[in-house]
């Protein structure tokens, strides 16, 4: 995760914000699911993922990238694996 002493607290705040967002959208109405979201830190499972840039190209993001934690706790699907259209172009 981020190399800051308060990174655990920052992740907890973002997790709480995500829960509020999902709850207000009516997506997280069940108390059992809310508790699961509150107890399971998403960032532990998302060390690296891919996000689409403004041109629609996939870019890898990991713990060293600025904004990584914001991506992890945003209300969006994150792609953990990507495969190029042309396998020979993949490093």
Decide if 1 is inside a domain. Answer: no
Q: Residue-wise over 12-35: b if at least 16 C-beta within 10 A, else e?
A: eebbeebbeebeeeeebeeeeeee
pTM, two decimal places: 0.75
Integer Cα distance of 81 and 60 in angstroms? 9
In a domain, 47, yes or no: yes
Number of structural domains, the chain? 1
The per-residue pLDDT for range 14-70, each reduced to its tens digit, is 999 999 999 999 999 999 999 999 999 999 999 899 988 888 888 899 999 988 999
Q: Is residue 75 part of a domain?
A: yes
Domain housing 24:
7-84
28 domain-assigned: yes
Would you state the structure tokens that stand for residue 12, as one six-digit string? 């907890």
| 41 occurs within a structural domain | yes
């Amino acid at each position: 995760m981020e190399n800051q002493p308060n990174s655990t607290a920052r992740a907890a705040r973002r997790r709480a914000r995500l829960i509020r967002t999902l709850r207000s959208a009516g997506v997280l109405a069940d108390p059992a699911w809310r508790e699961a979201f509150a107890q399971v830190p998403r960032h532990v499972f998302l060390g690296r993922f891919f996000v689409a840039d403004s041109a629609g190209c996939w870019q890898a993001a990991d713990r060293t990238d600025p904004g990584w934690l914001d991506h992890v706790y945003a209300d969006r699907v994150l792609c953990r694996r990507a495969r190029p259209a042309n396998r020979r172009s993949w490093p």
